[in-house]
Amino acid sequence: MLPLSVPLLTVAALATLGYLLAARRAIAVSGGDSRTLAALPAQYALNALLTIVIPALAVLIGGAMAGGGALTGWVVIGVALLCFAGALLQITPDYRARNHAETWIKLILMAASVIAILTTLGIVFSMIFETRNFFSQYRWQDFFLSTEWSPNFRGNSALGILPLLWGTLYISFIALVFAVPIGMFAAIYLSEYASPRMRAIAKPAIELLAGIPTIVYGLFALITVGPFLRDYFAAPLGFGDSASSVMTAGLVMGIMLIPFVSSLSDDIINAVPQAMRDGSLGLGATKSETIRQVVLPAALPGVVGAILLAASRAIGETMIVVLGAGAAARLSLNPFEAMTTVTVKIVSQLTGDTDFASPETLVAFALGLTLFVITLGLNVLALYIVRKYREQYE
């Protein structure tokens, strides 16, 4: 089998040669007067280049996808040679090189946009494939309905998703309890009350929170918030003595979500037509009455959408819970106890030495698929609500 560099270099050499020769040939067939050509010599050259490169690369990628047979390299070189000859032979004064070159370019652009689809398919299929392997070794009833999670790499693991889901939802709930009021009020204040100067300072400052990587929040939870909550709340109140807890992760995740909620709400509040506010103010309502009784009800669907998007973010968040929530799978109501989430378990089952035949590793794919389905559902629902609401006023 040829090393990959041989066909690649051959194609590159042929393409360069084709590019140079095509321009000369175009001038030659025109009899020295390039005005008689249907396109500029440079466009003939470009067309020749693309005609050689694109089919060859398509064959190369196709061959690699199909498992990379020993012949792929030779086939690529053959195709490139064939196209090289074709590209030069088809040059006549009437040949519309610009149009042909542009068709090739459009093909490239199209292929690029298909990558998004391929990514989704890759995500879905890779997870479905491994999840099927998992369910062939582990009963799905036990996975979805069992309340025990205790993986054991010697076998006989209990792999019930319920305690993980509970931890995920509990932490997300606490995060939203912090983020939604603060985010909403901040958005209301910034869009309805704040002076332009204050807006110019506060808005970027809040959005700065969105630009901070989640690992920073995770470290903040681990070294500051966790010990603080333990020493000043959990331990004195007798709720436990764990620094990593649902509260720690929830609080920090709440901070992370503030800019998310506030910028979405800001958009939504701004989309409410000014005429509605003016009408309410004209009837003698105060500003806050207008906001509470006119603006917010009008914006409600959008706000619900924003909260759903924030919830989907919270459920899929990984680093904050890995560092802040703990690793113990537990079904408990005490927010100062360590619990764990779906994402934490995906990380812990897939890092370190993994054996892709054992259910203890494969369960991560089932967890991932569950996570993907939940967040996708929330996103689709939220986008649907937001879009529907926007149309109302446009």
Partner 1 sequence: MSYKSLLTVDARTKRRNAAETRFKAYGLAAIVMAMLALAVLLTSVIGTGASSFKQTYATITVPLPEDKLDKSGVRDPDVMKKVTTIGYSSLLKNGMVAALQTAGISTDLNAKDIGGMLSKEAAATVRGFVLANPDVIGGDATFELLMNGRIDGYFKGRVTMESAALDGNTSPEELALAQALADAGIVRTKFNWAFLTAPDASDQRPEAAGLGVAILGSLYMMIVVLVLALPIGVAASIYLEEFAPKNRWTDVIEVNISNLAAVPSIVYGILGLAIFINFMEFNQSSPLVGGLVLTLMTLPTIIISTRASLKSVPPSIRDAALGVGASKMQSVFHHVLPLAAPGILTGTILGLAQALGETAPLLLIGMVAFVREYPAAYTPEAGLFGEAATALPVQVFNWTQRADPGFVERASGAIITLLIFLLIMNAIAIFLRRKFERRW
Site for partner 1 in 332-351 (CB under 8 A): 343, 346-347, 350-351
Lay out the site mask for partner 1 across 227-266 (x = CB under 8 A, - = otherwise): ----------------------------x--xx--x----
CB contact at 8 A, 47 and 107: no
- Residue 288 CA to residue 266 CA, distance in Å, equals 16
- Residue 188 CA to residue 181 CA, distance in Å, equals 10
By CB under 8 A, residue 126 contacts partner 1: yes
By CB under 8 A, residue 19 contacts partner 1: no
> Which residue is associated with the tokens 């997870």?
127
By CB under 8 A, residue 375 contacts partner 1: yes
| Among the residue ranges 87-95, 295-303, 309-317, 325-333, the one whose residues contact partner 1 (CB under 8 A) | 309-317
By CB under 8 A, residue 127 contacts partner 1: yes
Query: Closest approach of Cβ 64 to partner 1, in Å?
Result: 8
State which residue, 74 or 189, has the beta carbon closest to partner 1. 189
- Residue 274 CA to residue 282 CA, distance in Å, equals 12
Out of 74, 135, 173, 189, name the contact with partner 1 by CB under 8 A. Answer: 189
Site for partner 1 in 32-91 (CB under 8 A): none
Query: Closest approach of Cβ 336 to partner 1, in Å?
Result: 20
3-state secondary structure at position 66: coil
Under the phi-then-psi rule, with left for phi > 0, alpha for psi from -120 to 50, and beta for the rest, what region is 33?
beta
By CB under 8 A, residue 364 contacts partner 1: yes
By CB under 8 A, residue 176 contacts partner 1: no
Closest CA to 242 of 257, 232, 220, 227: 227
CB contact at 8 A, 17 and 84: yes
Site for partner 1 in 91-120 (CB under 8 A): 98-99, 102, 105-106, 108-117, 119-120
Which is it for the CA torsion 141, 144, 149, 152, positive or negative? positive
Closest CA to 367 of 68, 97, 164: 164
By CB under 8 A, residue 20 contacts partner 1: no
| Among the residue ranges 163-171, 198-206, 270-278, 328-336, the one whose residues contact partner 1 (CB under 8 A) | 198-206
CB contact at 8 A, 240 and 166: no
Out of 140, 153, 193, 393, name the contact with partner 1 by CB under 8 A. Answer: 193
